[in-house]
Amino acid sequence: MRTVEPFTSHAELRRERILATVDSIPRGRVSTYGRIAAEAGLGRGARQVGAALRNLPSGRGVPWHRVLNATGKSSVDAAAGVARQRALLEAEGVVFSASGRVDLKRFGWPD
DNA sequence: CTCGTGACTTTGT
DNA sequence: TACAAAGCCACGA
Cβ of A46 less than 7 A from strand B: yes
For residues A17 and A49, what is the distance between their CA atoms, to the nearest angstrom? 10
In the structure, how far is the CA atom of residue A2 from the C1' atom of nucleotide B9, in angstroms? 43
Residue with CA nearest to C8's C1' atom:
A44
Q: The whole model's pTM is what?
A: 0.91
CA angle A58, A48, A33 (to 5 degrees): 85
Residue A2 in this model has a pLDDT that exceeds 60: no
- At residue A1, the pLDDT reads 63
Nucleotide of closest approach to A12 (CA, C1'): C10
Residue A98 in this model has a pLDDT that exceeds 70: yes
Residue A79 in this model has a pLDDT that exceeds 90: no
For residues A15 and A23, what is the distance between their CA atoms, to the nearest angstrom? 12
- Residues at the strand C interface (Cβ < 7 Å): A 10-11, 14, 42-45, 47-48, 97, 99, 101
- The string of pLDDT tens digits covering residues A5-51 is 567 888 999 999 999 999 999 999 999 999 999 999 999 999 999 99
A83-93 average pLDDT score: 97
